[in-house]
Amino acid sequence: MKAHPSLLVCSFLVCASLALAQTPPAPAASPAPATTAAPAAARGGAASWEPRTFPLWENGAPGALGTEPADTPTLTYYPANGRGAGTAVIVVPGGGYVNLAMNHEGRQVANWLNSLGVSALVLKHRLGPRYRHPIELGDAQRAIRLVRAQAAQFGTTPDRIGLLGFSAGGHLTATAGTLFDAGKPDASDPIDRASSRPDFLVLAYPVILSAAPYAHQGSFNALLGPDADPALRASLSLDSRVTKETPPTFLFHTNADTGVPAENSVQFYLALRKAGVPAEIHIFQPGAHGVGLGMGDAVLEAWPPLLATWFRNNGLLTNPTPPPARGGGRGTPAPAATPAPAPPAAAPRAP
């Protein structure tokens, strides 16, 4: 059978076979987030559905070098419309560990997740070279613990909290998915008692490998410093950190990506496969690095519906809790999950 001339999709299906979802128009962008002091997530009133931003630590982040916005990691919460699917995704934008693509790898992704009934929280973590590893990992782990400890406020259950990371944000996502703990039972802060293990991972053109020729040197220089201990650098080649406890993972990459070559995703997928972890990978032939959700590209806009199908096949778009009773009668069934919409347009960027 002759391959399509413009699209080559390499799909290794471990969990389940996929059926490509139809792509309706993109959802309207959410309003600019308001800043609040705490993750209040009241369900009453129109204002409760607007995005809101809050710090990961109310009294300052551990290891902070100041009190400026760059020293204050935050989450911006985008509530799912209606009752929701009972799943939450923490979105980790890329930017080479020196910047964060908060629009096309943050807000736009949150809007798309909301259209599926999924609650989204966009992470703003601390960056290099001002901050080095493990500060960034600590921020990601705190985000997971916070959402898990207050799951009901975020429209999810404690066992349906995932991470979705792009580029260097994919490296941080994979780091959190391989270097986690069960929490500290004796911690004075109740949030620190929660596990930092995500329940699933989504990696979009992720930085994974730390050695030449496939490493993105700029990301590792920002994260560790240009003169980092070679052993430390090797320990953050995350294909080497996969175990059977690594969460189920969906990977997306492009063959034409020269900033972060597709070998990064391939090697992580092979490590997952060897460890027996459910995983799925899609490699598209065209596409520069940093395409986000691929809106406007006739080929790449197919990957978000593939992800939506993976969510659906893994039960992440079906609310596990019974709907509330109405008028003293039995609860009404939850609405069917919305098909994956086309994401908003985004221009490619550097890793």
User: Where in the chain are the domains?
Assistant: 65-313
Kindly tell me if the per-residue pLDDT of 106 is higher than 90. Answer: yes
pLDDT of residue 325: 53
Q: Which contacts (CB < 8 Å, 24+ apart) does range 131-138 have?
A: 131/63, 131/65, 132/223, 132/224, 132/225, 133/223, 133/224, 133/232, 133/236, 135/63, 136/97, 136/172, 136/175, 136/223, 137/172, 137/175, 137/176, 137/179, 138/62, 138/63
Which pLDDT score is estimated for 31? 45
Does residue 22 have a pLDDT over 60? Answer: no
At residue 182 the predicted structure's pLDDT band, cuts being 50, 70 and 90, is very high
pLDDT of residue 198: 98
pLDDT at 30: 44
- Average pLDDT value over all residues in the chain: 85
Does the pLDDT of residue 123 top 60, yes or no?
yes
pLDDT at residue 321 in the model: 78
| Residue 130 confidence class, pLDDT cut points 50, 70, 90 | very high
- Give the pLDDT band (50/70/90) at residue 39: low
pLDDT band at 7 (very low <50, low <70, confident <90, very high): very low
Beta strand pairing call for 161-166 and 10-13: unpaired
Amino acid at 49: W
Question: What pLDDT is recorded for position 237?
Answer: 98
Q: Which residues contact 88 (CB under 8 A, 6 or more apart)?
A: 118, 119, 120, 121, 147, 151, 154, 155, 156, 160, 161, 162
Report, as an integer, the average pLDDT of 242-270: 98
How confident is the model at residue 324, as a pLDDT? Answer: 60
On the question of pLDDT at 334 being above 50, the answer is: no
Binned at pLDDT 50, 70 and 90, residue 81 comes out as: confident
| Topology given in CATH for the domain delimited by 65-313 | Rossmann fold (3.40.50)
Per-residue pLDDT at 170 exceeds 70: yes
Q: Which residue has the higher pLDDT, 152 or 33?
A: 152
Q: Which whole number is the average pLDDT over 111-129?
A: 97
